Amino acid sequence: MDKYLKSDLENINELLEKVKNNACTFLKDIDEIPTFSKDSKGYNNSQLNQEGLGGEKALEEFIERFYKGIVSSAGAKYFGFVTGGSTPAALMGDWLVSAFDQNASGRDNSSGTKIEEETINLLKQLFGLPQEYSGAFVTGATMANFVGLAIGRQWVANELGFDIAKNGMYNLPPIKIISAAPHSSILKSLSMLGMGRDNMHYIPSINGREAIDIKALENYLKQNNGTPCIVVASAGTVNTVDFDDLKQIRELKKKYNFFLHVDAAFGGFAACSPKYKKLMEGIDAADSITVDAHKWLNVPYDSAMQFTKHTKLQIQVFQNNAIYLGELSENPDFVHLTPENSRRLRALPAWFTLKAYGSNGYQEVVERNCSLAEVLSKKIEESKNFKLLADTRLNVVCFTINLGDHSATLEEIQQFLKIVNEDGRAFFTQTVYKGTPGIRAAISNWRTEEKDMEIAWEVLNKAYKFYLR
Ligand SMILES: Cc1ncc(COP(=O)(O)O)c(C=O)c1O
């Protein structure tokens, strides 16, 4: 055995203790750690040594060269993208995932896959999904959308008498995909699936909103004359958390022949609160559903779920047949359900956090985040420096800077956000909402409280004054 491997094995307790101390320091200081990294020192590519350093020295080098560049994106004042942190219990689970290093691909390998099945079951309860859905963990909502659309693609082909999984798409007419405000990852998935980004058929939204105009959708489906197609519904758009009316889409599904994929990456968590769960009514009509765990479930990155009612089609697409991997049975291994073959036990952090905080815990996080979005929204409404670009629904505030004589261009928004984000106390990202450049504040971290919104507001206003100098 290599001498460093041997000594690290002998000293594993001390090494992990050191790692734990570093992690705990980070978590203790997270409120003070910048949300943005200006540090570019230490990123020169180092050479691979012939002789290793051993774990302790590797840790020292990492801390010295890279720690300063680690940002508090998991902290309370990071409002970019849709970013959760990691709850204490999720972190406990995540550490164990690496320590145990199970391959969650086959059901008989270990209890790993049982944990995944149980976690999927807990999540179905959290989201109020009927038992008939099966589910699996993937790396993120992009992958969950990819899996859902792959199943939808197979469904359309089957309806037309083709089997894409076996024969490819060579003899198939273009598959129609229909949506109003799909997330960019839906288009990326269309590209990856050979369906083509340009084959998205856009249906108008309701005036002044991002939700699909149901009449326009029905007209499209009528004219489509029964040709099987895929409708992608949004349960929480990224700019305004708008929901397509799933109840009405459920009614359309009784009349028209389409596969319904619902991207509920973070909007799905509306189901956790009696106040918002109406938005998810009709979700049971979905043929496949995407929900992200590394967003509002607040587990570490690399975690999302895809749910479907069409496990058979899913197996047609994703089966991975090799004798050494085991037989394809009635209750197929995860290796036959998702793009990956070997898989990390990424359900475990979700299991830990669900067990630790239960549905009440998630109701509290969702409602607190949404009420903080309302707090920010109210401040913006009352301010001369900023204005809302849309009504605030749930946890995202979409707004712009007030420049008086003209509306801010994307370049101006970028210059403004550079000042904001370089402050390091809060972080926001740019967007374009219905053609107007703006700023998004997505509040989805379990730590965020009113005091954090106060600091964020101070940062925004300080930057505004600086910008206008
Ligand atoms: C609605 C929606 N779908 C999909 C995604 C993609 O998520 P991921 O980054 O986990 O792939 C996002 C990310 O913000 C999203 O908001």
Which residue from 79, 81, 142 has its CB within 8 A of the most atoms of ligand 1, so it is best to mutate? 142
Which residue from 185, 288, 398 has its CB within 8 A of the most atoms of ligand 1, so it is best to mutate? 185
- Alpha carbon dihedral 314, 235, 445, 416, in 10-degree steps, equals 120
Q: What's the gap in Å between 133 CA and the centre of ligand 1? A: 21
- Supply 147's token pair: 């899996």
Query: Using a 6 Å cutoff on CB, does residue 238 contact ligand 1?
Result: yes
In this structure, the number of other CB atoms found within 10 A of the CB of residue 393 comes to 24
Q: What's the gap in Å between 290 CA and the centre of ligand 1? A: 9
100-148, pLDDT tens digit by residue?
999 999 877 789 999 999 999 999 999 999 999 999 999 999 999 999 9
Give dist(CA 229, CA 173) in Å, integer.
11
280-321, pLDDT tens digit by residue?
999 999 999 999 999 999 999 999 999 999 999 999 999 999
* Phi, psi at 402, each rounded to 5°: -90, 110
Query: Which ligand 1 atom is nearest residue 292's CA?
Result: 10
Q: What's the gap in Å between 138 CA and the centre of ligand 1? A: 13
Nearest CA to ligand 1 atom 16: 238
Give dist(CA 248, CA 240) in Å, integer.
20
Domain chopping of the chain, boundaries: 91-353
- DSSP letter string, 264-329: -TTGGGGGG-TTTGGGGTTGGG-SEEEEESSSTT---SS-EEEEES-HHHHHHHH----GGG----
Query: Using a 6 Å cutoff on CB, does residue 147 contact ligand 1?
Result: no
Q: What's the pLDDT at 45?
A: 77
Which residue from 138, 183, 241, 398 has its CB within 8 A of the most atoms of ligand 1, so it is best to mutate? 183
403-460, pLDDT tens digit by residue?
988 999 999 999 999 999 999 999 999 999 999 999 999 999 999 999 999 999 999 9
pLDDT band at 329 (very low <50, low <70, confident <90, very high): confident
Share of the chain above pLDDT 70, in %: 99
Query: Using a 6 Å cutoff on CB, does residue 81 contact ligand 1?
Result: yes
Q: How many CA atoms lie within 13 A of 448 on its CB side?
A: 36
Query: Using a 6 Å cutoff on CB, does residue 352 contact ligand 1?
Result: no
Nearest CA to ligand 1 atom 14: 82
Average pLDDT, the chain: 96
Query: Which ligand 1 atom is nearest residue 236's CA?
Result: 1
Nearest CA to ligand 1 atom 4: 141
pLDDT band at 323 (very low <50, low <70, confident <90, very high): confident
Q: What's the pLDDT at 432?
A: 97
219-249, pLDDT tens digit by residue?
999 999 999 999 999 999 999 999 999 999 9
39-74, pLDDT tens digit by residue?
766 577 788 989 999 999 999 999 999 999 999 999
Query: Which residue's entry shows tokens 């607190």?
Result: 368
Q: What's the pLDDT at 41?
A: 64
Query: Using a 6 Å cutoff on CB, does residue 265 contact ligand 1?
Result: yes
Q: What's the pLDDT at 353?
A: 98
Give dist(CA 430, CA 413) in Å, integer.
7
Q: What's the pLDDT at 364?
A: 98
The CATH number assigned to the domain with range 91-353 reads 3.40.640.10
- The answer, yes or no, to whether residue 357 has pLDDT greater than 70, is yes
Query: Which ligand 1 atom is nearest residue 264's CA?
Result: 1
Q: How far apart are the first and last CA of the chain?
A: 64
In this structure, the number of other CB atoms found within 10 A of the CB of residue 391 comes to 13
Which residue from 73, 81, 82, 429 has its CB within 8 A of the most atoms of ligand 1, so it is best to mutate? 82
Q: What's the gap in Å between 65 CA and the centre of ligand 1? A: 31
71-84, pLDDT tens digit by residue?
999 999 999 999 99
